[in-house]
Amino acid sequence: MCDQTFLVNVFGSCDKCFKQRALRPVFKKSQQLNYCSTCAEIMATDGLHENETLASLKSEAESLKGKLEEERAKLHDVELHQVAERVEALGQFVMKTRRTLKGHGNKVLCMDWCKDKRRIVSSSQDGKVIVWDSFTTNKEHAVTMPCTWVMACAYAPSGCAIACGGLDNKCSVYPLTFDKNENMAAKKKSVAMHTNYLSACSFTNSDMQILTASGDGTCALWDVESGQLLQSFHGHAADVLCLDLAPSETGNTFVSGGCDKKAMVWDMRSGQCVQAFETHESDVNSVRYYPSGDAFASGSDDATCRLYDLRADREVAIYSKESIIFGASSVDFSLSGRLLFAGYNDYTINVWDVLKGSRVSILFGHENRVSTLRVSPDGTAFCSGSWDHTLRVWA
């Protein structure tokens, strides 16, 4: 049997010149249009022109990036570990698990501290979000989300609400209530709407604004009360996995890290990317500002953590070891910025000396990969959440 395709001739008005001609289907940006043969030929030559422009744009971008690297290198006169030779080495570090929070039925994906320094909110794969008083290990509230894989959760600065989201592509805010007659889920507010999973969320300085990062490659700033989008941030070429707000006095920037191996610093007011750093070799899982706000650290699947300085506009330190081959899932600084705690997928937590670049200590305890790690607001302890269904507070 022979396979014949017959070209069907359709007559009609061309989508470009509107003349009545025999039409051919033409695909432009995955949309089908019907052009007459003359317009189709013009488009073919146009396309060629477009391709040429695309290639020249790409080479222009590459050459500019090269120039930028040269400029950055010019002012790099000394390495961090050289400067840090004058600093005393840190002594032995003994940190133990002081509390173990058991209660999640599945992997813990995210956690956040309350400003009261003892309460935390944590979310897990089975859709449960729990608020604990981690000092007494009591559970105070529990919400079941309608979706699984709740990858982001945050505590409001006032301590009166929590936000969470994940595979439902939304960020929902739940006011915390102790009223036994009220179901927490009843007062839920759906704030953010993305077109892909929510990977991170954080309140700004008040309960009324929330910043989200999503697998659709964008970050967005929302007004909690109305759910209105205040600003959106486009620029990542792949999923955005993490974000952190700057502690600086001008308080208008935040940093985000994504699967495109980039960490980008954004101006919240204009929505523009202010700085970008692309030195990681794999997904950037976590970003956290240095306490002074002049730098930030990032943890990545390439098993390294790196420190980027914002004023020097470059990477200034790499925290890695040959023996560490699993990715770092989350990082945080101690209060003085001297220590960097990083949780890895090989179930351990490594403590790095930020200035000297060496590992100070390695903490064992979790029985599965560490997915989230945050230092408490007053720096007395840090909490790590893991796929082994538990959270541990270390001090």
Partner 1 sequence: MERVVVSMQDPDQGVKMRSQRLLITVIPHAVAGRDVAEWLVRKFCVSEEGEGQRGVAGETPYFWTSTLWPAAELDYAIYLAKKNIQKQGALADYEKVQYDQLHKKLNHTWDLVLMQAREQLRAAKRRRKGDRLVIACQEQTYWLVNRPPPGARHVLEQGPERGARPASHLQTSSDFYKREIDYTRKALGRTRVKSSICLEAYLKFSSQRSSHDPIMAGCLPSNPWITDSVDYWTLNAPTVATPTKLRVERWGFSFWELLGDPVGRAHFMDFLQKEFSAENLSFWEACEELRFGGQAQVPGLVDSVYQQFLAPGAARWVNIDSRTMEQTLEGLSQPHRYVLDDAQLHIYMLMKKDSYPRFLKSDMYKSLLVDAVTPPETRRRVFPFMRKPRHSSPSPALLPGSGESAAASGGDEA
Q: Site residues for partner 1, window 195-234 (CB under 8 A)?
A: 196-197, 204-206, 208-209, 215-217, 223-226, 228, 230
Tell the smallest beta-carbon distance from residue 386 to partner 1 (Å). 14
Q: Which is nearer to partner 1, 24 or 117 (CB)?
A: 117
CB 285, CB 297: distance < 8 Å: no
- The two tokens of residue 345 are 């997928």
CA angle 267-270-274, nearest 5°?
A: 35
Selection from 360, 355, 249, 340 nearest residue 299 by Cα: 340
Pick 24 or 377: Cβ nearer partner 1: 377
Which of 14, 110, 129, 283 touches partner 1 by CB under 8 A? 283
Q: Which of 35, 113, 149, 233 binds partner 1 (CB under 8 A)?
A: 149
φ, ψ for residue 46, nearest 5 deg:
-60, -45
Span interacting with partner 1, options 8-16, 36-44, 62-70, 318-326, rule CB under 8 A: 62-70
**Cα separation, 234 vs 130, whole angstroms:** 32
CB atoms near residue 298 (< 10 Å): 27
Give the number of residues in contact with partner 1, rule: CB under 8 A.
114
> Within a 13 Å sphere around the CA of 342, how many CA atoms are in the beta-carbon half?
36
| Pick 13 or 183: Cβ nearer partner 1 | 183
Q: Does 67 bind partner 1 (CB under 8 A)?
A: yes
CA–CA–CA angle 259, 265, 269 (5° rounding): 125
Residue 361 binds partner 1 (CB under 8 A): no
Q: What angle do CA 313, 319, 324 make, to 5 degrees?
A: 145
Q: Does residue number 19 form part of the binding site for partner 1 (CB under 8 A)?
A: no
Which of 202, 164, 152, 169 has the alpha carbon at shortest distance from 385?
A: 152
Classify residue 195 by burial, with Cβ atoms within 10 Å: 0-12, 13-18, 19+. Answer: exposed
Q: Out of 34, 123, 213, 235, point to the residue binding partner 1 (CB under 8 A).
A: 235
Regarding 363 and contact with partner 1 (CB under 8 A), the answer is: no
Give SS3 for 81. Answer: helix
Which residues ranging from 151 to 190 are in contact with partner 1 (CB under 8 A)? 151, 158-161, 167-168, 175-179
Interface residues for partner 1 in 80-139 (CB under 8 A)?
80, 83-84, 86-87, 90, 95, 98-99, 114-119, 125, 133, 135-138
Of 36 and 319, which has the nearer Cβ to partner 1?
Answer: 319
Binding residues for partner 1 restricted to 323-342, rule: CB under 8 A: 334-339
Phi, psi of 119 (to 5 degrees): -90, 145
Per CB under 8 A, 354 contacts partner 1: yes
145 makes contact with partner 1 (CB under 8 A): no
Burial of residue 266 (CB within 10 Å: 0-12, 13-18, 19+) is buried
Q: Which of 276, 326, 346, 347 binds partner 1 (CB under 8 A)?
A: 276
- Please name every residue paired with 25 in a beta bridge, in sequence order, or none if there are none: 34
24 versus 141: smaller Cβ distance to partner 1: 141
